[in-house]
Amino acid sequence: MECFVEQGTSYRDCLGKIVAKYGPRVTVVRQRSIRMGGIFGGLFSREGVELEFYIPPVLNRNAAGSQVYQGGSVSGLSLQPGPYKGSAPAPLDFEEEKKKILAANGRDSTQQTILNEVREIKEKLEAGAGDGEHPNLSRVKEILRANDFSDSYIKGIIDRARGELPLDLLENFEALEEKTLEWIGESISIYRGNSPQANRILVLVGPTGVGKTTTVAKLAAVFGYKKNPPLAVRLITIDAFRIGAKAQIEAYGDIMGFPVSYVDNYRDLKKEIVLYSEETDIILVDTIGKSPKDAKNLGEMKEVLDACGPRAEVYLVLSAGTKTSDLGEILRHFEPFNYRSVVLTKLDETSHLGNVISILSEKGKAVSYITDGQKVPDDIKKARVIHFLINLDDFKVDREKMEKRFSLEEDDQFQWG
């Protein structure tokens, strides 16, 4: 028995080559990063990995029931267990499986049937070994799935772990968990627009019932009350005709003492903007909830909102509990509004944020605010990575560490007003 070395572009690629060449029983002893190819001493070379491995001897049971090796030891190398010891399922023994099938099929089976079944098992063994999945990676994968992360997002995390993490880190679940959380955090984009301090026009668009009007009220209170000194706020709604909608925004306006206007066409909205934008610090525009499927209505609303002009900051309001497939459709259909970021509502109603994190990361969208309850104005916050991480199920989050890790990327450029 001897030790072999193989090189490849990634851990997976390398393991695949080894299994193709030597069969599924190989055990990896050591992994290291290398530079591959290149000219003139490394120019244009690529990153790769080198795996050192051995093929363990087949184990037999002696009379006393203890295990003995058939075969010699490897000179100069102690046979350390490979990365897949411990809780990893014992690799299936191809010869063993072959014998079992031969026994089960008895004398009646034809040679061809047996050979076919043996081939099938061999393929399964090779596919399994080629996958080279460490049990801790499988555990991370399960947790990500339980949190509703998309398949492609999960694949990205697992591939990154395979490609970047040394084996000793993979062996340590807590360290792997921390790395995974860090990568999830990195994938969450926080909006850091440098908004002017006054004469802003904020427009909230989004599907029905996601919390647009409530969020408008929360923002109005934050800008008009919480901020020191408070800003002059005005509310405009283009949702004046739906039963209850007018009363809802009017109630918020009355309680907080902010003027409210109603418009339903481009001309009137333009008039309001021209009339009030000089004397108002923040104009908040509430819109009618639209089904993303209703392209005609969306188009009409877009035409009305064009009256706000190019300096309007459009925010897409999304409920955190929305299904992944629906989220994709919503993002796509609201694209013509050129929204600059997303407001994520109802974080208090879900503990499965993977869907939102996956899709926003895949589409490259940033989050500016999150809301996590019905109380106006308390339940709104400037979005931070930690809000997402602490809402993930089954991950142990070291809050202090993660806050520190992401605090630099969340400097307070994007203030309340």
Ligand X SMILES: Nc1nc2c(ncn2[C@@H]2O[C@H](COP(=O)(O)OP(=O)(O)OP(=O)(O)O)[C@@H](O)[C@H]2O)c(=O)[nH]1
Residues that bind ligand X (CB under 6 A): 208-214, 239, 245, 289, 345-346, 348-349, 371-374, 379
Nearer to ligand X, 115 or 247 (CB): 247
Nearest residue to ligand X, using CB?
Answer: 289
Nearer to Mg ion, 207 or 354 (CB): 207
Q: Among ligand X, Mg ion, none, what binds residue 208 when CB lies within 5 to 8 Å by partner kind?
A: ligand X
Nearer to ligand X, 47 or 254 (CB): 254
Q: Minimum distance between the CB of residue 191 and ligand X, rounded to whole angstroms? A: 18
Write the interaction track for Mg ion spanning residues 1-40; mark x where CB under 5 A is met and - where it is not. ----------------------------------------
Look at the alpha carbons of 279, 283, 288, 293 in this order and tell me if their dihedral is positive or negative.
positive
- Binding of Mg ion by 213 (CB under 5 A): yes
Strand 282-286 to 260-262 pairing: unpaired
For residue 266, how many other CB atoms are within 10 A of its CB?
15
Q: Minimum distance between the CB of residue 373 and ligand X, rounded to whole angstroms? A: 5
Strand 46-54 to 3-8 pairing: antiparallel
Q: Among ligand X, Mg ion, none, what binds residue 214 when CB lies within 5 to 8 Å by partner kind?
A: ligand X
Closest CA to 235 of 214, 257, 256, 253: 253
Nearer to ligand X, 269 or 301 (CB): 301
Q: Minimum distance between the CB of residue 283 and ligand X, rounded to whole angstroms? A: 17
**Under 8 Å between Cβ of 354 and 148:** yes
SS (H, E, C) 219-285: HHHHHHHHCCCCCCEEEEECCCCCCCHHHHHHHHHHHHCCCEEECCCHHHHHHHHHHHCCCCCEEEE
Q: Minimum distance between the CB of residue 347 and ligand X, rounded to whole angstroms? A: 7
Q: Contacts with Mg ion in 153-182 (CB under 5 A)?
A: none
Helix, strand, or coil (residue 272): helix
Q: Among ligand X, Mg ion, none, what binds residue 372 when CB lies within 5 to 8 Å by partner kind?
A: ligand X
Number of residues that bind Mg ion (CB under 5 A): 2
Type of residue numbered 181:
L
Q: Among Mg ion, ligand X, none, what binds residue 189 when CB lies within 5 to 8 Å by partner kind?
A: none
Helix, strand, or coil (residue 43): strand
Residues paired with residue 43 on neighbouring β-strands, in sequence order: 39
Angle at 133 between CA 131 and CA 134, to 5 degrees: 160
Q: Minimum distance between the CB of residue 381 and ligand X, rounded to whole angstroms? A: 10
Q: Minimum distance between the CB of residue 271 and Mg ion, rounded to whole angstroms? A: 22
The length of the chain in residues reads 417
Nearer to Mg ion, 280 or 287 (CB): 287
Q: Minimum distance between the CB of residue 149 and Mg ion, rounded to whole angstroms? A: 30
Strand 46-54 to 27-36 pairing: antiparallel
**Under 8 Å between Cβ of 272 and 286:** no
Look at the alpha carbons of 287, 288, 294, 299 in this order and tell me if their dihedral is positive or negative.
negative
Residues paired with residue 28 on neighbouring β-strands, in sequence order: 53
Q: Minimum distance between the CB of residue 390 and ligand X, rounded to whole angstroms? A: 16
Nearer to ligand X, 137 or 219 (CB): 219
Q: Among Mg ion, ligand X, none, what binds residue 415 when CB lies within 5 to 8 Å by partner kind?
A: none
Nearest residue to Mg ion, using CB?
Answer: 213
Q: Minimum distance between the CB of residue 131 and Mg ion, rounded to whole angstroms? A: 49
Q: Among Mg ion, ligand X, none, what binds residue 33 when CB lies within 5 to 8 Å by partner kind?
A: none
Nearer to Mg ion, 212 or 384 (CB): 212
Q: Name the strand (E) or helix (H) holding 330.
A: helix 324-333
**Lookup: tokens for 265:** 């066409």
Nearer to Mg ion, 150 or 213 (CB): 213
Q: Minimum distance between the CB of residue 208 and ligand X, rounded to whole angstroms? A: 4
Nearer to ligand X, 37 or 209 (CB): 209
Q: Among Mg ion, ligand X, none, what binds residue 410 when CB lies within 5 to 8 Å by partner kind?
A: none
Cβ density class 362-398: b for 16+ within 10 Å, e for less? beebbbbbbbbeeebbebbebbbbbbbbebbeebebe
**Under 8 Å between Cβ of 339 and 229:** no
Nearer to ligand X, 277 or 345 (CB): 345
Q: Among ligand X, Mg ion, none, what binds residue 24 when CB lies within 5 to 8 Å by partner kind?
A: none
Q: What residues have CB less than 8 Å from 151, skipping those under 6 apart?
A: none
Q: Residue written as tokens 């084996």?
A: 167
**Lookup: tokens for 399:** 């809050």
Q: Which residues bind Mg ion (CB under 5 A)?
A: 212-213
